[in-house]
Structure 1
Amino acid sequence: MLVAASAWAQTSSEQERLQHVVDGTIKPLMEGNAIPGMAVAIIADGKQFVFNYGLASKESGQKVTDSTLFEMGSISKTFTATLAAYGVARGAFSLSDKAGQRLPALAGSSLENVSLLDLATYTAGGLPLQFPDQITDDAEMIGYYKAWRPTFPPGSHRLYSNPSIGLFGYIAAQAMGKPFDDLMQTDLLPSFGLSNTYVRVPQERMADYAWGIAKDGRPIRVSPGPMDSEAYGIKTTATDLIRFVEANINGSRLDETLQRAIAATHAGYYKVGVMQQGLGWEMYSYPTTLERLLAGNSAKMAFEPHEAHKLVPPQPPRRDMLFNKTGSTNGFGGYVAYVPARGIGIAILANKNYPIPDRIKAAWQIFSALDGQKKPAPQP
C-alpha cells in the first residue's frame, strides 16, 4: 500500500509504517549483499527520520548509531559543486572561465582553454575515471594535466572523471583564496549546519568512523590520494546528509548567496542519454521510472564516453526533477535521491561497496512508498 508522505509523521502509527517499509527493504538488502551496517535517512514534508542497522565495525561489534560516520565516495562531488557554485555566486570566478586563465601552470596544455563548466560536468574531452597509480602528489598531478591529450573536442562527450571534477574544485578553491579543505570544513559545511561532516575526520571522532569491508573481507578506510577531497573524500552521518538534502529541497532558511549556489547546481547543463548533468547532481524529469534511473546510474554510464548535448541556455532549475548521486569507495557505498516538488528525499549509507543497481532499487522501493499520491510541496 502506498501512503502519502504527508501522512508519515502525523502519528506514531504512521512512523511505524515507515519503519516497516524501510525494514522490509533494507534488511533483505543487507543480507543479500553481506553488508555489515547501514544508515537510512528520509525527509518527508520537512520531517526527518533516521534508521540504523547492523555494525559500524565487524571486528569490534560496534553498532551503527546516529553518530556513525560513513564515507560518501562520489556523493562528495555534490558538496564540491556547491562550494564552487558558492564561489561563483560571490563573484570569485565564472563557470565560463578557462582552466589556464585560473591556473597558469596549465598554460600551453590541452586544458588551457577548457572551461570550468566542462571540467565540472566531465565534458573536458575525455579525462579518465581515475588518476594513474603513479600520480601521488600535487607536482605529479599538475604534470599529468599538462601532458594529458583529449580524445574528444571539449563539450562533445561526457566521461565520468575524478580528475575532471577534482580539477574544477581545485581551481575553484584557488579562485576563492583558500585551500579546498579549509573552505569546505570552515566555510561551507557550517553554513548548512553540518557539524558531523568532515573532509578529514578529527582524532576525537575516529571512534565514530565506521570500518568498511574490502572485497577480500578486510576492514578498510579510504586512503589519501590526488584530488581525494574534491572527488570522493567526505565522511558524514546519515543525519547530516539528509540535512544537506533538505537544504536542496527547500533552502529558504539559508542566506541568499547560498540559495543561488544551490540553484546553480540544480541547473541542467548537458543532456546525456536519459539524464541531465547538473553541477554534481544528475537529474531526471519526474515522475520517472526505475528503468531510467538504472540506465542513468549504470556501469556503462560511469565507465564509457557518451555524447553530450549542451543546453543553451542552461535548463533553469526545476523542482519537478529527481536529483540523485551515487558514491563509492573501496569499502563503502551510498546513494542520495530527492524531488523538491514532492518534498521527499532519501540518503542511504553502507560500510560496503555493494552493487549500484541494488541501491537504486532499494531507494526506489522506499521512495515509491513515500510518494504515493502526495500533492506537490509548496514553493519555498
Structure 2
Amino acid sequence: MDRLKTLAVCLGLLTAGQCVAQDPIESVVNAAVKPVLQKEGIAGMAVAVTVNGKQHFFNYGVASKETAKPVTENTLFEIGSVSKTYTATLAAYAQASGKLSLSDKASHILPALRGSAFDNISVLQLGTYSAGGLPLQFPAEFDSPDKMLSYYQQWKPLFPAGSHRLYSNPSLGLFGYLAAHSLGQPFDEAMTNTLLPKLGLKHTYLKVPQDQMGLYAQGYNKDDKPVRVGPGALDAEAYGVKTSATDLIAYVEANMKPSRLEKPLQQAIALTHSGYYTVDNMTQGLGWELYRYPITLDQLLAGNSTPMAMEPHKVQWLNPPQPPMENLLINKTGSTGGFGAYVAFVPSKDIGIVILANKNYPNAERIKIAHHVLSALISL
C-alpha cells in the first residue's frame, strides 16, 4: 500500500516552482463527494475511510447554517436506520451470552404478546423483516411508547411468517426491545452501559448529552428547514443513534476485525454478518445487508432501491444460515428527516467508508460515492 502514501505533485505553473502534497485518497473522495454536495444542496458532510487499519477523514461544509460551525470528524450526526446494525449486534450479543435464542417465539420472550400473532413469529423473523408484513412505520395513533404494545397485540399478518421480506421499523424495533428484555435492562441502558463500551465507542449516543450538544449537527429537510429526529415508538431501537465519523469508522473496524473484542461480542458480530435468506442478489444479515464482492454499481443500487425498501419480496431461506463469507461487501443506509447516512465495508480487502450528511438526500447518491471510492481504493 505504499502507493496510498501522500504523493508529492509539483504544480510548477500554478505555484511558482513549489511542490504541493496531494493525497490520492483525498482526490478520490473529493471527486466523488463535491458534485453531490452541490447537486443536492447539502450543508455539511463528514466522510471517513479506513484502509489497512489506517483512518482518513474528510470534512465538508457546515454542521449548522445558522452558526456556520464547520463539520469535523467529531460532529454528531443522526444515522437513522444504520442504528439497526447496533440493535442487531445487541441482540446477537444476547444470544452469544446465552440470554436469548433467535429461534424463540416473540411471545415466549414477552408474555404481553401471548395470544397474538407473535405466538407464531420468531425473534429471528423480527430481526430479518420477515414477520409477515409489519409496515415501514408505526401507524400514527400507535407511534408512542405507551401505545406500541397494543399495536402488536392487535396486528394481523399479511403473509405467513418467514415468507416475505418487508423492511420495517416496528419489526426491527421489537427485535431490539426483546433483546434488551432478555438482558433484563431497558434498551437504552443495555446499549449505553453494555454494548457501546464493549465496542470501544465513546462518542455514540441514543440521547446526546447536554455537554455534547455543541457537536450535534443541525439537520435540514427537503425544504432546507431545520429539523432533528423526534420521539416515537421504539425510536432508539430502529433509528435513534447519533454518532461521529470518528466513532462510526471505529465501529466499521470493529466489524471488520473483531478479534480484539471479548469472545461473546466476536460471536455476535459473526451472527450479524451471517446470511439468513436471499432476495435477488442481496443476502439479509442481522441489521446489515450483504453482497458478494466485487459487485457492480447497478447491483448495489438495486439492493438499496426504493422498491427493496418499500415493497414485499419473497425470500429464499438459507438453512443453515450462511456463515460470513470471504468476499463480502456489507452495507446499510440510514435516514431521518434531516440526515442521511451510509456505511459500506469489505472485510477481505480491509477497506470501508462511512458517509454522514445533515440532509436526507437520495440513497442512490450515497451508493455512488461509496462504490466509486471503494473501487478506487482497491486500484490505488
Question: What is residue 110 of structure 1 aligned with on the other side?
Answer: 117
Question: What is residue 63 of structure 2 aligned with on the other side?
Answer: 56
Question: What is residue 236 of structure 2 aligned with on the other side?
Answer: 229
> Secondary structure at 2:255's aligned position in 1?
helix
TM-score normalised over the length of structure 2: 0.95
What amino acid is aligned across from residue 203 of structure 2 in structure 1?
A: N
Question: What is residue 10 of structure 1 aligned with on the other side?
Answer: 5
Distance 1:368 1:317 in 2: 21
Distance 2:245 2:267 in 1: 25
Report Cα offsets for 1:30-73 as digits up to 9, x if no partner. 00000000000100001111111100001111110122000000
Distance 1:242 1:208 in 2: 17
Runs (4 or more) in structure 1 with deviation over 6 Å come to none
| Offset, 1:137 | 2.9
Distance 2:365 2:287 in 1: 21
Question: Which is further off, 237-246 or 138-147?
Answer: 138-147
Distance 1:79 1:151 in 2: 28
Distance 1:198 1:132 in 2: 26
**Contact between 2:339 and 2:358, CA under 8 Å: does it hold in 1?**
yes
Question: What is residue 197 of structure 1 aligned with on the other side?
Answer: 204
| Offset, 1:11 | 4.1
Question: What is residue 316 of structure 2 aligned with on the other side?
Answer: 309
Q: Match for 1:69 among 54, 76, 95?
A: 76
| Offset, 1:319 | 2.9
Q: Match for 2:27 among 10, 13, 20?
A: 20
> Secondary structure at 2:118's aligned position in 1?
coil
Question: What is residue 238 of structure 1 aligned with on the other side?
Answer: 245
**Contact between 2:166 and 2:311, CA under 8 Å: does it hold in 1?**
yes
Question: What is residue 47 of structure 2 aligned with on the other side?
Answer: 40
Question: What is residue 128 of structure 1 aligned with on the other side?
Answer: 135
Alignment of 1:1-380 (within 5 A): 6-7=1-2, 9-11=4-6, 13=8, 16-372=23-379
Distance 2:254 2:261 in 1: 8
Distance 2:198 2:354 in 1: 20
Q: Sequence identity of aligned pairs in percent?
A: 58
| Offset, 1:9 | 4.6
Distance 2:357 2:198 in 1: 26
Question: Which is further off, 131-140 or 109-118?
Answer: 131-140
What amino acid is aligned across from residue 10 of structure 1 in structure 2?
A: K
Question: Which is further off, 155-164 or 186-195?
Answer: 186-195
Question: What is residue 12 of structure 2 aligned with on the other side?
Answer: none
CA RMSD of aligned residues (A): 1.2
Structure 2 alignment gaps of length 5 or more: 9-20
Distance 1:200 1:319 in 2: 36
Report Cα offsets for 1:276-299 as digits up to 9, x if no partner. 000000000111111110000000
| Offset, 1:15 | 6.7
Distance 2:152 2:275 in 1: 27
TM-score normalised over the length of structure 1: 0.95
What amino acid is aligned across from residue 294 of structure 1 in structure 2?
A: L
**Contact between 1:220 and 1:331, CA under 8 Å: does it hold in 2?**
yes
